[in-house]
C-alpha cells in the first residue's frame, strides 16, 4: 500500500478552506509501503504520522495570501498537547523534557493565525519533531517567514515539510522519539509562466547561511526521503518542475 494525500489545487487565493471548489487535483506526497503512515487531517494541515518514529513522515498544507494576514495570537509553550486523532501510543509535551531539543513545528504556528482552531491544532505533538534550537529559531524560522511573504505575493503556496531520518537514528525520551538528522521543505506555486517548485534541506544543527545554500530540486529531495511529491501533475509538467528550480522566481 502507498499512502498519498490529495489536495484540491486552486490557482487563486480563497478566504476560507471550505470555499475552494475548483478543480485540478495535485498529489502532494506518497510514502513507501514499508513506512508507517497514519493520515490525520486537521483544519490547517494534514500529517502523515509515523507511529514507530513518534514524529511525522511529512506535514502538508496550503498557505494563502488571506491566511498570512491572520491575527490569532500564537499560543505559548503550555499549549503543546497530544493529538487526539493519533491511534495507539501518543506523544505528550513532557516526552521532550530534558532532551535538549525544541518541539519543532513542521506546520508553523505563524501560518495558522487565520483560525483559533488551526492555531491550537498546530501545537499537537504529531506536528512536532526534535529540532536543534538554533535551527528552529534560526534559518528554519527565516524560511518560514520567507514563505509567508511568497504566499502573500503569489496568492497561495503548497508546502510539504518533514524530517530526514538516518538508518540508525538517535532517539530521545522513554518512548524513543526519533531525532531527525535533517529536515526538508518542498514548495509549489503557480506563476503567470506556469508551475514552479523548489526544495530546501537543512541539517539538524545550528549555523546561519543564505537560504539559497539549502536549495535542492524536488527530485533530489525525493531521493533522500523516499517520498514522492506531486505525483499526479501531468508527466510533462512533473518531469520539468521537479528536476529544476529557478532561484530568481523565488527572489533568492
pLDDT of residue 180: 98
Tell me how far apart the alpha carbons of residues 228 and 2 are, in angstroms, rounded to a whole number. 10
Domain architecture of the chain: domains with CATH: 3-250 (3.40.570.10)
**Cell representation of residue 96:** 521532550
Tell me how far apart the alpha carbons of residues 188 and 157 are, in angstroms, rounded to a whole number. 6
Between the alpha carbon of residue 99 and those of residues 125, 178, 188, the distances in Å are: 15, 11, 34
Sorted by sequence, the CB contacts under 8 Å of residue 96 that are 6+ apart come out as 103, 128, 130, 172, 173, 177
In three-state secondary structure terms, 116 is: helix
Tell me how far apart the alpha carbons of residues 113 and 214 are, in angstroms, rounded to a whole number. 27
pLDDT by residue for the chain (252 residues), tens digit each? 344 444 433 333 323 343 332 323 235 788 876 889 999 999 999 999 999 999 999 999 999 999 999 999 998 878 999 999 999 889 999 999 999 999 999 999 999 999 999 999 999 999 999 999 999 999 999 999 999 999 999 999 999 999 999 999 999 999 999 999 999 999 999 888 889 999 999 999 999 999 999 999 999 999 999 999 977 677 777 778 899 999 999 999
Q: What is the DSSP letter of 74?
A: P
pLDDT of residue 235: 73
* Full-model pTM: 0.89
Q: What is the DSSP letter of 124?
A: B
Amino acid at each position: 500500500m502507498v499512502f498519498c494525500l490529495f489536495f484540491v489545487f486552486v490557482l487563486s487565493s480563497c478566504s476560507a478552506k471550505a470555499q475552494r471548489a475548483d478543480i485540478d487535483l495535485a498529489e502532494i506526497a506518497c510514502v513507501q509501503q514499508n513506512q508507517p503512515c497514519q493520515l490525520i487531517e486537521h483544519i490547517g494541515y494534514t500529517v502523515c504520522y509515523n507511529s514507530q518514529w513518534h514524529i511525522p513522515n511529512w506535514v502538508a498544507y496550503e498557505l494563502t495570501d488571506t491566511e498570512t494576514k491572520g491575527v490569532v495570537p500564537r499560543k505559548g509553550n503550555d499549549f503543546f498537547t497530544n493529538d487526539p486523532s493519533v491511534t495507539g501510543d501518543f506523544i505528550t509535551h513532557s516526552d521532550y523534557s530534558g532532551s535538549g531539543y525544541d518541539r519543532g513545528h513542521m506546520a508553523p504556528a505563524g501560518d495558522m493565525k487565520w483560525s483559533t482552531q488551526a492555531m491550537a491544532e498546530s501545537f499537537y505533538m504529531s506536528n512536532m519533531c526534535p529540532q536543534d534550537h538554533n535551527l528552529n529559531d534560526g534559518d528554519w524560522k527565516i524560511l518560514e517567514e520567507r514563505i509567508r511573504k511568497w504566499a502573500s505575493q503569489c496568492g497561495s503556496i503548497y508546502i510539504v515539510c518533514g524530517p530526514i531520518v538516518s538508518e540508525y537514528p538517535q532517539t530521545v525520551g522513554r518512548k524513543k522519539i526519533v531525532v531527525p538528522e535533517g529536515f526538508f521543505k518542498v514548495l509549489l506555486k503557480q506563476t503567470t509562466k506556469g508551475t514552479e517548485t523548489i526544495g530546501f534541506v537543512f541539517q539538524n544543527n545550528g549555523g546561519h547561511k543564505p537560504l539559497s545554500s539549502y536549495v535542492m530540486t524536488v527530485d533530489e529531495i525525493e531521493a533522500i526521503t523516499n517520498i514522492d511529491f506531486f505525483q499526479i501533475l501531468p508527466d510533462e509538467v512533473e518531469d520539468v518542475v521537479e528536476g529544476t528550480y529557478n532561484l530568481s522566481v523565488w527572489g533568492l
